[in-house]
Amino acid sequence: MKVCIVNFDHLKGINKDTAGGFGTKFSVGTSLFSKIIERMKWKIKIPIVISGYIASIFLEFGWTVCTNCGENYPQSDFYVIPITIVDFENELRIAKLAKEQYNAKIILWGPFLKVFYNKVKDFADAVIVGEPESSISEIARTKQIKEKILFSNPVENLDKLPFPNWNVFDISKYNYWTVIKAKPFLPILSSRGCPYPCKFYCPYPVSQGTALRLRSVKNVSDEIKYLVDRYNIRGLVFRDPIFTLRRERALNIAKEISKNKNSIEWGIETRIDSLDEYLINYMADAGLKSIECGIESFNDATLIKNFRNNNTTINEIEKVVSFCNKKKISLTLFYIIGLPNSSVKDVKETIRIAKSINSLGVQFTIFTPYPGTPFFKKTYGNRIPKNIKEFDSFTPVFSNINHDVLLKLKEYAFVSYYFRTKWLGKYFLRIFR
Ligand code: SF4
């Protein structure tokens, strides 16, 4: 039996592994400066990490696994297609094409399907709702689809999963430019789930749940050795929502990384309040090059601050910026603008403070109510809004600030941040030091 695991390496600006698997579509604006920033960001290419697991499971059961090359879709008995909020029309087009051309069995999966399965079920033989590995294992083992809608249980013991297999994917395309320059580059997941209370708006608990599931340090270390031996990787990014949530474990993983025969450049996502100088220094000495942290907003009146359980002060953020500077780690801070109840003044204040903090990287996303979150449910009930494909984190879909004004503020945020003497000075100092 042959299965095609569809991937989307060729789409510009769309990243389907972000926002907990809902995907994002990066855009800044229409000016020349905006286009320069967009071109830089579009260079980043990461695969959907779960696709590597799906490939591995099919291979374990003796299937032939392939993928598409751009718009060339090979003949296969089965097609596995991730459904995202940012590109579902295109994804469903591929499902239709594979059915018409090859009469392939179509399997759709993705966190968006928790609320969207009724809209896609006519395109599929199976719609997987939930973490896909359990249902994929069952299909791979039996070579059959028993039901149209498969409610797939989360994997309780992550150590029992096979390591992702990247053989059919063109890994030479993947990179995390500019923060991790080393290639070959691949993503890795050492944990799933996030227990913080910001699940009210955050998409990660929709896809991974709120219970923290950790792989053992040995299992993570074995995967890294396997990635080095098989793919010669030199760059890695941990896609865990909060990599340093268990401090001791983070230190132990860093220690294991430093033992590899390749020196590895790596990156993590985490929270400011789970970082400290010793931990940063230790990870930096083991090759850490990039840290990404969500800050969201500095405005107490907005919803996010209340649900995020985040009392981090500007002073604490600045300390982490300075620790990262000393160790030449790229710190990227994520801000959200257009929060419910926020005003133009609030957004400008967030931009102003972001500039005064002056981290090496920033992201200004626009508040987006993700389907499956309590916030979405409270706002839309069971209804899917007509403009759902615009829920891409960079288009205003829900704000009391006027749509065009918010778009202009986003453009202003990026352009005025990056085309600034204080930031440019820092950037060139980092390059030439
Ligand atoms: S800590 Fe981060 S990943 Fe976890 S729920 Fe909050 S925003 Fe989401």
pLDDT 10s digits, 141-159: 999 999 999 999 999 999 9
Same structural domain, 296 and 210? yes
Stated length of the chain:
433
Scan for tokens 């074995």, then name that residue: 222
Confidence (pTM) = 0.95
Cβ neighbours around 203 below 10 Å, total: 27
Residue ending a domain, choose from 144, 168, 192: 168
Residue ending a domain, choose from 123, 138, 168: 168
Q: What is the mean pLDDT of the chain?
A: 94
How many angstroms does the Cα of residue 297 sit away from the middle of ligand 1? 14
pLDDT of amino acid 60: 98
pLDDT of amino acid 9: 82
Yes or no: say if 267 and 332 are a contact pair by the CB < 8 Å rule.
no
Same structural domain, 75 and 98? yes
Mean pLDDT, range 297-317, rounded to an integer: 68
C-beta 370 within 6 A of ligand 1: no
How many angstroms does the Cα of residue 234 sit away from the middle of ligand 1? 28
Q: What is the position in ligand 1's atom list of the atom closest to the CA of 194?
A: 4
Q: pLDDT (tens digit, 9 = 90+) per residue, 200-236?
A: 889 999 999 999 999 999 999 999 999 999 999 999 9
Kindly state the tokens that stand for 42. Answer: 């579009």
Same structural domain, 292 and 147? no
Q: pLDDT (tens digit, 9 = 90+) per residue, 389-423?
A: 999 999 999 888 999 999 999 999 999 999 999 99
Burial code of 224-259, b = ≥16 C-beta within 10 A, e = fewer?
A: beebbeeeebbbbbbbbbbbbbbeebbbbbbebbee
- Boundaries of domain holding 59: 1-168
Same structural domain, 147 and 201? no
The CATH number given to whatever domain includes residue 360 is 3.80.30.20
pLDDT of amino acid 93: 97
pLDDT of amino acid 177: 86
pLDDT of amino acid 105: 98
Does residue 107 carry a pLDDT above 70? yes
In three-state secondary structure terms, 412 is: helix
| Residue (of 3, 124, 113, 111) closest to 57 by Cα position | 3
d(CA 263, CA 174): 18
Same structural domain, 210 and 357? yes
Q: pLDDT (tens digit, 9 = 90+) per residue, 35-92?
A: 999 999 999 999 999 999 999 999 999 999 999 999 999 999 999 999 999 999 999 9
d(CA 64, CA 53): 15
Same structural domain, 98 and 227? no
Does residue 384 carry a pLDDT above 90? yes
Q: What is the position in ligand 1's atom list of the atom closest to the CA of 199?
A: 5
How many angstroms does the Cα of residue 309 sit away from the middle of ligand 1? 10
Same structural domain, 209 and 259? yes
pLDDT of amino acid 341: 86
Same structural domain, 212 and 354? yes
How many structural domains comprise the chain? 2
C-beta 294 within 6 A of ligand 1: yes
C-beta 205 within 6 A of ligand 1: yes
Q: pLDDT (tens digit, 9 = 90+) per residue, 164-174?
A: 999 999 999 99
Same structural domain, 179 and 164? no
Q: Which of residues 177 and 265 earns the better pLDDT score?
A: 265
Residue ending a domain, choose from 108, 133, 168: 168
Same structural domain, 163 and 213? no
pLDDT of amino acid 170: 95
The residues, any chain, with a CB within 8 Å of residue 13's CB and separated by 6 or more, are: 25, 26, 27, 38, 41, 42
How many angstroms does the Cα of residue 243 sit away from the middle of ligand 1? 11
The CATH number given to whatever domain includes residue 25 is 3.40.50
Same structural domain, 105 and 141? yes
pLDDT of amino acid 356: 96
Q: Whose CA is nearest to atom 2 of ligand 1?
A: 241
Same structural domain, 120 and 260? no
Containing H/E element for 294?
A: strand 288-296
| Residue (of 165, 116, 94, 100) closest to 136 by Cα position | 165
Beta bridge partners of 188: 238
> Contacts from 418-421 at CB under 8 Å and sequence distance 24+?
418/33, 418/37, 418/362, 419/33, 420/355
How many angstroms does the Cα of residue 72 sit away from the middle of ligand 1? 37
Pocket test for ligand 1, best of 196, 240, 271, 334 (most atoms within 8 A of CB): 196
C-beta 203 within 6 A of ligand 1: no
